[in-house]
Amino acid sequence: MRTQLKKFIESMEPNSIAIIPAAHEVTRSYDSEFKFRQDSDFWYLTGFPEPDAIAVIDPSSKKPYTLYVRPRDPLMETWYGRRQGVEGAVKNYGADRSFSVERFDTDMAKLLDGKDVLYYRFSVDRNLDSRILDYFAPQRVRRLKTAYPPHTIIDPTIITGEMRLYKSADEIKMMQRAADIAAEAHILAMKKVRPGMNEGQVESLLEAYMRDQGASGVAYNSIIGGGDNATILHYVENNMPLKDGDLILIDAGAEYQGYASDITRTFPINGKFTKAQREVYDVVLDVQLKCIDFTVVGNTHQKRQEYSIELLTEGMKQLGLLKGKTKDLIKKKAYLKYYMHGVGHWLGLDVHDAGRYFVDQQAKQSKPYAPGMVLTVEPGLYIPPDDKSAPAKFRGIGVRIEDDVLVTKDGNLNLTAAVTKDPDEIEAIMQKAGRK
């Protein structure tokens, strides 16, 4: 049994049971599917890679870990790929016992009867939701009590979200590999980008490199924005030609063994920043470096966001984008025009990883940073191309710089430091790679 599953069991309420489903294949069009991606919590707890499985965790049982899986089926396997089957689930994935997933619904009454608490996350798998409700419904109207269904339902992500916040040494190794692969891909992009290339070609060279290095693919859809496409936060069309004199913003991360990296670099398509581009870049870089230093034990997530707003508001004033007292501008949220997102997020199996940002949601008491957490640091400035109030030289410039930082006992470790963000070094890399 995986350490994560052991810890999960230790955190469960007395007399409880958990139902944790795997992901399903998702239709892309007609009868073809998107590439399969396992559910992160299911993967975290079981490491089982196949779709449609269901893990049932019953700590009071002698065999607490049951895995319902797709049965072996020579015909299906010839068409759609190998299956572990019930033997493989036990032998290769440490399940205490395994049954065909086709049995799950009939087993449910037996599994849930007499339990006080059910851990299940409603609303992710609507089909399974309704099958579970089908189990509960008749129990509610039965006069002669013959079955005792759980009276309390708890979302298991309350446990897994908290666990996933603190990365183990093994997880950090995998995250470092995801970070290294993406960092190298970004350096490759710096070397290869030329005016006249299409954004899609840059996307393909990054992703080919990631796959080549053992990543399963990208951790999220890459953002490859040339010119003012960089001012669209989630620009993923990636199909426009790159122009001489513009910047390119690349936000691309790799997925390795399920773990994400998330890197953004912004650099000049022709290899040389203009003065105006450099002015904006220097402001964002200065804020990013300061926010990395801020990502340490003792600070909270909320404080870091406020710090980034303060620094970027100052930067906007320095650039002539905003005028007035910093305090007033912050109160009016004037910065939102040019900086409209968070300065970072948890990172792990998901790019925007699980785990709460507040210790006390109601009181809005923000979580303090602690060793083992991994966060992105990604301030940006985005000046809309049609913003008449901005100095003309800045219009259409979008700059974001993003690194992945591990909080340690006595500071932090930048997992993505291997790809430079120093503007002079970027220019040198680009020049060295040859320009036209």
Q: Is 251 in the site for ligand GLY (CB under 6 A)?
A: yes
Respond yes or no: is residue 186 known to be catalytic.
Answer: no
Q: Which is nearer to Mn ion, 48 or 346 (CB)?
A: 346
As measured in angstroms, the least distance from the Cβ of 281 to ligand GLY is 18
Q: Which of 10, 31, 386, 410 is catalytic?
A: 31
- How many CB atoms are closer than 10 A to CB 378? 23
Measure the N-to-C terminal CA separation of the chain; round to a whole number of Å: 57
- Residue closer to ligand GLY (CB basis): 180 or 378: 378
- 93 is annotated as an active-site residue: no
Q: At what angle do helices 169-192 and 423-432 cross, to 10 degrees?
A: 60
Biggest distance spanned by C-alpha atoms of the chain: 85
262 is catalytic: yes
CB of 184 or CB of 251, closer to ligand GLY: 251
Of 50, 262, 353, 404, the catalytic one is 262
What is d(CA 96, CA 59) in angstroms, rounded to the nearest whole number? 12
Residue closer to ligand GLY, measured from CB, 70 or 164: 164
Question: Are 231 and 384 within 8 A, CB to CB?
Answer: yes
Q: Which is nearer to Mn ion, 18 or 374 (CB)?
A: 374
Binder to Mn ion among 251, 255, 314, 403 (CB under 5 A)?
251
Task: For residues 360 and 199, give the distance between their C-alpha atoms in angstroms, rounded to a whole number.
Answer: 43
From 346, 316, 339, select the one nearest 401 (Cα to Cα): 339
Tell me which of Mn ion, ligand GLY, none is bound by residue 358, counting a contact when its beta carbon lies within the kind-specific cut-off of 5 to 8 angstroms: none
**C-beta of 251 vs 255, nearer to ligand GLY:** 251
Binding ligand GLY (rule: CB under 6 A), the pick from 50, 203, 255, 262 is: 262
**Catalytic status, residue 151:** no
Q: Which does 215 bind (CB under 5 to 8 A by kind): ligand GLY, Mn ion, none?
A: none
Query: By CB under 5 A, what part of segment 368-397 binds Mn ion?
Result: 376
The set of residues, in sequence order, having a beta carbon less than 8 Å from that of 135 and lying 6+ positions away, is 105, 108, 109, 112, 149
Fill in the amino acid letter for 6.
K
Residue 378 annotated as catalytic: yes
Q: In angstroms, what is the minimal distance from the CB of 402 to ligand GLY? A: 6
Q: CB of 174: closest distance to Mn ion in angstroms?
A: 18
How many CB atoms sit inside 10 A of residue 284's CB?
Answer: 23
The closest residue (CB) to ligand GLY is 251
Closest CA to 119 of 9, 4, 18: 18
> From residue 103, how far is each of 20, 49, 406 by CA, in Å?
16, 20, 43
Nearest approach in angstroms of CB 96 to ligand GLY is 38
Per CB under 6 A, does 220 bind ligand GLY? Answer: yes
Phi and psi (nearest 5°) for 376? -90, 155
Q: Which does 39 bind (CB under 5 to 8 A by kind): ligand GLY, Mn ion, none?
A: none
Binding partner of 220, given ligand GLY, Mn ion, none, CB within 5-8 angstroms per partner class:
ligand GLY
> Which tokens in the block code for residue 205?
């060279």
- Cβ distance 374 to 415 under 8 Å? yes
Cα 323 to Cα 48, 201, 313, 315, 320: the distances in Å are: 56, 40, 10, 11, 7
Q: Find the shortest distance in angstroms from Cβ 217 to Mn ion.
A: 15
Is 52 catalytic? The answer is: no
Cβ-based nearer residue to ligand GLY, 248 or 351: 351
Backbone angles phi, psi at 191, to 5 degrees: -75, -35
- Mask for 338-377, x = binds ligand GLY (CB under 6 A): -------x-----x--------------------------
Q: Is 24 a catalytic residue?
A: no
Task: Supply angle C-alpha 214, 215, 220, rounded to 5.
Answer: 170
DSSP string, 67-93: EEEPPP-HHHHHHH----HHHHHHHTT
Is residue 251 part of the annotated active site? The answer reads yes
Residue 39 annotated as catalytic: no
User: Which chain residues interact with Mn ion by CB under 5 A?
Assistant: 251, 262, 376, 402
Query: So which residues are the catalytic ones?
Result: 31, 234, 251, 262, 341, 345, 352, 378, 382, 400, 402
* Binding stretches for ligand GLY (CB under 6 A): 220, 251, 262, 345, 351, 378, 402
